[in-house]
Amino acid sequence: MSQADSGPQVVHRRRRGAELFLLVVALLVGLGAYAAVGLGMEGTIPADMLTYGGWLTVMVAACHVVVRFVAPWADPVLLPVVAALNGLGLAVIHRLDLTYGELGQKDDYAQQQLIWMTLGVVLFLATLLVLRDHRTLQRFTYTSGLLAILLLLLPLMPVIGTEINGARIWINVAGFSFQPGEIAKVLLVVAFAGYLVLHRDALALAGKRLLFVDLPRGRDLGPILGMWLISLGILVFQRDLGSSLLFFGLFLVMLYVATERPGWLVVGGTLFAAGAFAGYQAFGHVRQRFDLWLDPFEYYGEGTNDLGRQSVETQFGMGWGGLIGRGFGNGRPELIPYANSDFIFAAIGEELGLTAVMALLVCYGLIVERGLRTAVTCRDGFGKLVATGLAITFALQVFVVVGGVTGLIPLTGLTTPFLSYGGSSLVANWVIAALLLRISDQARRPLPSMLGTEPDPAPDAEETQVVKL
Amino acid sequence: MNRPIRTLAVFCLLLFGALMVNATVIQYVDAGELNANPSNRRVVDATFSRERGDILVGREPIARSVPSDDEFEYQREYLAPFRYAHVSGYFSYFSQTGIERTQNSVLSGDDSRLFVTRLVDMVSNSEPVGGSVELTLDDGAQTAAYEGLEALGPSTQGSVVAIEPSTGKVLAMVSSPSFDTNRFADHDFGRLNDTFEELDAREDEPLLNRAIQTTLPPGSTFKIVTAAAALEQGIATAADDPVPGGPSYQLPLTDISVENGGRDCGSGDIPFTQAMEQSCNTTFLALADQIGVEDMQEQAEKFGFNSEYLEDLPLQAESRYPGTLDEPQTALSGIGQSDVAATPLQMAMVAAGIANDGVVMKPYLVDEVRSPDLDVLDRTDPSELSEATSPETAEVITQMMVNTVSVGTATPAAIPGIDVAGKTGTAESAPGRPPYAWFVSFAPAEDPQVAVAVLVEAPGGQQEIAGGTLGGPISRAVTEAVIDQ
C-alpha cells in the first residue's frame, strides 16, 4: 500500500493528553464499581480500597508512561477502553466472590484475576518495549503458525491436557491451568497475515467467474481447506465450538481483506455451513447446543435434564435487571452457572441493567472500530492484515459470546474479553491491545519526510482526519 | 485492502447492532413476560421475602409478616392459625390459598391501588411493603362458630357460615377439621412439603374449606326454598293457609312412600305453619310436585343455586338444582333430597335472603383495602345479588320459621327474649353413610342482624345426628355473639 492510494496525507496528533484524561475516567469506572460493590454488598467502602485502587492506578500509569515513550503516536482511545473494561470486570468478579463466599464456595477469583491482570499488563509493556516495529513479526510467519498448531494440540496431550465441561481446551502445568488456544489466536493472526501478504496476488488474480462471483483457483484452495480441517479438528477433538468458529471466521476474513475477493467469503461460508450441518448431524453435543438455543425453557426445571438452566437464568436475570439494573448486591447473579466467566455479561445485565450492557457493547465496538481504523491508516500490508485480524478476532469473540449468552445464536464457550474471569484470555487480550497500539503508532506516525514540515500544533485547529469511504 | 476493511467495519456494526437489539428485547420488551414466569426464582423469592401486608379482623391482625433472620427477609405469621385457616388461607413458598391468594396483589404491594405507595418506595429506595386487607368477619362470631364445632369432638367434620343479611358481609366462616396455617409459612421447604403431603392425604380433608367447597343435599332446610316457591306461585298466601298434609306421601309414578318420622302432620290439609314447624315431608313433597321442576329451579336460582357469587375466595363450588329432574325427583327436591346439593354458604344466603325481605345480597369477605400507612384505599359496597321473593313472602316464611324455633323442631336454637327464625335439616346421602345435620337461622326476626347456616357431616363423638340438636346450639352461640355487641 503506497500512500498514494490512501488519499490525502493526514498528519495525526499524538493526543497523549487525551489518553491520560480518558485513563483517569477509566480508573474512575473501575474503582467506582469496586466501591459500589462494597457499598451494595456490605454497606461500606471495601477496606482494601486504597491498596486496590493504588495498584490499579500504578498499572494504568505504567502503561501510559511506557506508551508515551515508546509509542507516542499510538491510538489514544484503545488503552482507556481496555482499562475501563478490565476494571469493571474485576469489580463484578469481586462482587460474585462475595456471594460465592457466603455460599461456602471458592471465592478468590478476583484476587487471581488481579494477578493475571498484572501479568497481562507486564506482557503488554514488554510487547511495546521489545517490539519496536510490528513488521519484525513478519519474519516469524511460519514459526508462529507452527507454534499456534502446537499450542492447539497441547490440550490433546496426555497428562497435561484436561477436559473441563466437555471441552478439551485446557492444559494443566504445575497447578496452573491455561487455555493455549487464547495465545494461539494471536499467533494465528500473525501467521495468516504473513502468509497472505506474500500470496495475496496469486490468490487474488487467478480464478474464474461464476454467477457474478469470482471463484478462486482450485490449487489456491489448499490453505483454506487446511484451515477448515483444523477448525473441524478443534470442533471434533476438543469439542470447542466457539474457538472453531472464531479461527475459521478469522482466516476467512483475512483472506477476503488480502485478496479483496468476496468469492472467498462465498467459498468459506459454504464450507462453514457444510461443516456446521455435518457437525449437527454427527455430534450429539452440537445438536444439543442447537436444540437448547431454539427453546431453552424446554430444558429447564424439574423433570428435564436442566441443561437450559444457564440460558433461562440469564434471561430471567437480565429481564429482572431491566433498564437500570438491580444495583450491586441486589441481584441474584449466582443463580447463573459460570456467572463470573462465560456468563459475566448476564451478571452485568442483571445488576447494572440494559444501560451498562449498551455501554459495554459500545466500548467493545470502539475497540473494534479503533482496530479497523488502524488497519485502514496503516501503511504496510502486513500491518493492515494483523490489525484487521486482531480487530475481527475481537469482534467475532464478543459477538459469539455475548450473542450466545443472550440467546441470539447457539451458545458456545468463549470468554468475554477483559471482563470474564480467566487468565489466558486476559493475558492474550492485553497482548492484542499492545499489538494494536504498536501498529497504530506506526500508522499514525508522520512519515520521516514530513516530520520536518510538521505544522505548528495550533491549539484550536484540530485536524480533520480524512478517511476515504 | 481498504475497501474490504470498510466493508468489514459495516459488517461489525451490524453484528453489534444485532447484539444491542437482542439485549433490548430481553431487558425491556420481554422483561415483563420473563418476570411473570412462575419458575422465575428471582421474582418468586423477592415476593416471598417482601414485607407482606396484614390480614385484619376488627382492626386486629390475624396474619402478619415479621422480620426473619434466614435467607428470606420476612416470615409470615398467623395469630389464630386454626380458627381462620380456611378464610385467611396460607402463604407458602409454593402456593397460596384463601385471602392470601385472592388478595395477593394488595398484600404483596403490587396492586395498582398502591401505586402511590410504590412510587414513594421507589424514590426513597426502600423495599416495597404490602397493603393490608380488613375482613368482614366478626371475631366473636368466628370464635363461637369454631368452638361450637370443636365442642362436638376433635375430628368433627362440619362448617358454619354467618352472614349479615342487609349487606352480605360474611361474619363467620369456619370449616372443621382445621389446620395450622403457620406450618405452611415454613421456610424449611422439605418440612413444608411433608406438611402438605400429610394433610393432603388425610381422609377428613382438613385443607378443604367445607363452607364453600362441599356441596351436600340440604335436606329439610331446603323446605324454605320450597315454601318460598309455593308462596310466590300463590299456592298459599299466609301462614295459616291450608296445604296438603297427612302421615305419608306416595311419590308420583312410583310405589315409594315417604313419611314424617313420627311428627304430627295431621291428615288432609293442615295449616302451612304447622307443616313448617313439624318439617312435614308429605307437605313439601306435594308442594314441590305441584310447583314443578321449572319454577322450583327458578326459585332456587334466585337464591344463588347454579351460580358462583363469592369473589373473595378461590375454588368455590356451585350449589346445584338441576333442571332435568323427573316428577318423583322433583317431588323429592322439595325436601332437599334427590340431586339438590348446597354449600353451607348457600344455605346461609337462603336464610339471609328471607331475613332481608326477600333480597339476597352478594356475599363478600373483604371489607376494606388499606395502604401500609392504614389509609383506606378501597371499601366494598354491598350489592344486591337478586330478589328471591317478595317482601310479603319473606314475612310469611319468617313467621313460620319463628314458630319452628318457638314450638317446632328447632327449639335448641331459641334465645330468651329474642325472636329467632330457624329451620332444621337432616339429609340422607349415600346409603351406609351417616346423614348430615343442617341448621339455618336468622335473628332477631323483626330486625335480622345475622343469618347462620351450620352443617355437621360427621360429629366427632357418638351423637345422634339431628339438625336441631347438633346445629341449634352452635347457631345460637354465633347469633348471640353478633347480637350481644
Chosen for mutation from A251, A361, A362, A377 (greatest number of chain B CBs closer than 10 Å) is A361
Q: Which of A257, A316, A353 sits opposite B34 (nearest CB)?
A: A316
Residues of B in contact with A440 (CB under 8 A): none
A349·B27 Cβ contact <8 A: yes
The set of residues, in sequence order, having a beta carbon less than 8 Å from that of B172 and lying 6+ positions away, is: B137, B138, B141, B142, B144, B145, B160, B161, B162, B452, B478
More confident residue, A99 or A283: A99
Per-residue model confidence as pLDDT tens digits over A353-363: 999 999 999 99
Distance CA(A302)–CA(A297), nearest Å, equals 11
Q: Which of A5, A331, A372 sits opposite B5 (nearest CB)?
A: A372
Which helix H or strand E contains A210, and what residues bound it?
A: strand A207-210
Q: In angstroms, what is the C-alpha Rg of chain A?
A: 23
Burial code (b: 16+ CB inside 10 Å, e: under 16) for A14-51 equals bbbeebbebbeebbebbbebbbbbbebbeeeebeeeee
Instruction: Give yes or no for B6 touching A (CB within 8 A).
Output: yes
Among candidate residues B221, B218, B215, B136, the one with its CA nearest the CA of residue B173 = B136
B8·A354 Cβ contact <8 A: no
Distance CA(A251)–CA(B372), nearest Å, equals 64
Burial code (b: 16+ CB inside 10 Å, e: under 16) for B405-435 equals beebbbbbbbbeebbbbbbbbbbeeeeeeeb
Quickly count: other Cβ atoms within 10 Å of residue A142's Cβ. Answer: 11
> What confidence category does residue A300 fall into, taking pLDDT thresholds of 50, 70 and 90?
confident
B259 strand-pairing partners: B248
B159 strand-pairing partners: B175, B455
**Which residue among the candidates B88, B220, B319, B475 is catalytic per the annotation?**
B220
**B191 lies in some domain:** no
| Cα-to-chain-centroid distance, residue B199 | 21
Nearest-CA residue of chain A relative to B22? A408
Per-residue model confidence as pLDDT tens digits over A210-263: 666 666 666 666 766 777 787 777 767 777 777 888 888 888 899 899 888 887
Instruction: Give yes or no for B485 touching A (CB within 8 A).
Output: no
**Residue B220: active-site member:** yes
Q: Strand pairing of B55-57 and B132-135?
A: parallel
A319·B35 Cβ contact <8 A: yes
Distance CA(A399)–CA(A408), nearest Å, equals 9
Query: Cα-Cα-Cα-Cα dihedral of A432, A437, A439, A441, to 10°?
Result: -170
Q: Which three cell numbers stand for residue A118?
A: 498484572
| Cα-to-chain-centroid distance, residue B121 | 36
**B315 lies in some domain:** yes
**B276 lies in some domain:** yes
pLDDT of residue B476: 92
User: Which one-letter amino acid corresponds to residue B123?
Assistant: V
Residues of B in contact with A398 (CB under 8 A): 16, 19
Cell numbers 471495601 correspond to: A46
pTM as predicted: 0.72
B26·A469 Cβ contact <8 A: no
Q: Which three cell numbers stand for residue B336?
A: 332437599
B28·A322 Cβ contact <8 A: yes
Q: Which of B4, B18, B26 sits opposite A315 (nearest CB)?
A: B26
Among candidate residues A22, A342, A343, the one with its CA nearest the CA of residue A331 = A343
pLDDT of residue A350: 93
Chosen for mutation from B3, B13, B24, B27 (greatest number of chain A CBs closer than 10 Å) is B27
**B442 lies in some domain:** yes
A320·B34 Cβ contact <8 A: yes
Tell me how many domains chain B contains: 1
Cell numbers 485446557 correspond to: A170
| Rounded percentage of chain A residues whose pLDDT exceeds 90 | 45
Q: Which of B8, B27, B45 sits opposite A322 (nearest CB)?
A: B27
Measured on CA atoms in the order B193, B195, B196, B200, is the torsion positive or negative?
Answer: positive
The set of residues, in sequence order, having a beta carbon less than 8 Å from that of A442 and lying 6+ positions away, is: A73, A133, A134, A378, A379, A380, A383
A406·B26 Cβ contact <8 A: yes
Per-residue model confidence as pLDDT tens digits over B177-193: 999 999 998 888 889 99
Per-residue model confidence as pLDDT tens digits over A27-64: 999 999 999 999 988 889 998 999 999 999 999 999 99
**B115 lies in some domain:** no
> What confidence category does residue A1 fall into, taking pLDDT thresholds of 50, 70 and 90?
very low
Distance CA(A226)–CA(A191), nearest Å, equals 14
What is the interface size between A and B, counted as CB pairs within 8 Å? 129
Instruction: Give yes or no for B15 touching A (CB within 8 A).
Output: yes
Residues of A in contact with B121 (CB under 8 A): none
Instruction: Give yes or no for B18 touching A (CB within 8 A).
Output: yes
Measured on CA atoms in the order A428, A434, A438, A443, is the torsion positive or negative?
Answer: positive
Domain span at residue B302 reads 213-366+383-483
Question: What average pLDDT does chain A have?
Answer: 85
Instruction: List, in sequence order, every beta strand (DSSP E) within A20-179.
Output: 161-164, 167-173, 176-178
Q: Which three cell numbers stand for residue A71?
A: 509509542
Over chain B, what HEC string results?
A: CHHHHHHHHHHHHHHHHHHHHHHHHHHHHCHHHHHHCCCCHHHHHHHHHCECCCEEECCEEEEEEEECCCCCCEEEEECCCCCCHHHHCCECCCCECHHHHHCHHHHHCCCHHHHHHHHHHHHCCCCCECCEEEECCCHHHHHHHHHHHHHCCCCCEEEEEEECCCCCEEEEEEEECCCCHHHHHCCCHHHHHHHHHHHHHCCCCCCCCHHHHCCECCHHHHHHHHHHHHHHCCCCCCCCCEEECCCEEECCCCCCEEECCCCCCCCCEEEHHHHHHCCCHHHHHHHHHHHCHHHHHHHHHHHCCCCCCCCCCCCCCCCECCCCCCHHHHHHHCCCCCCCEECHHHHHHHHHHHHCCCEEECCECEEEEECCCCCEEEECCCCEEEECCCHHHHHHHHHHHHHHHHCCCCHHHCECCECCEEEEEEECCCCCCCCEEEEEEEECCCCCCEEEEEEEEECCCCCCCCHHHHHHHHHHHHHHHHHCC
Q: Which three cell numbers stand for residue A114?
A: 488481579
Residues of B in contact with A256 (CB under 8 A): 4, 8
Extract the residue ranges of chain B whose pLDDT is less than 70: 125, 429-433, 460-468, 485
Chosen for mutation from A200, A257, A405 (greatest number of chain B CBs closer than 10 Å) is A257
B28·A320 Cβ contact <8 A: no
B13·A365 Cβ contact <8 A: yes
CATH number for position B272: 3.40.710.10
Per-residue model confidence as pLDDT tens digits over B116-168: 777 777 777 677 788 899 999 999 999 999 999 988 887 789 999 999 999 99
**B109 lies in some domain:** no
Instruction: Give yes or no for B20 touching A (CB within 8 A).
Output: yes
Alpha helix ranges (H) inside A43-108: 49-70, 78-102
Per-residue model confidence as pLDDT tens digits over A172-221: 776 667 788 888 889 999 998 998 888 888 777 766 666 666 666 666 66
On the question of pLDDT at A467 being above 70, the answer is no
**B249 lies in some domain:** yes
> What confidence category does residue A2 fall into, taking pLDDT thresholds of 50, 70 and 90?
very low
On the question of pLDDT at A6 being above 50, the answer is no
> What confidence category does residue A273 fall into, taking pLDDT thresholds of 50, 70 and 90?
confident
**B101 lies in some domain:** no
SS3 A214: strand
SS3 A209: strand
Which helix H or strand E contains A215, and what residues bound it?
A: strand A213-216
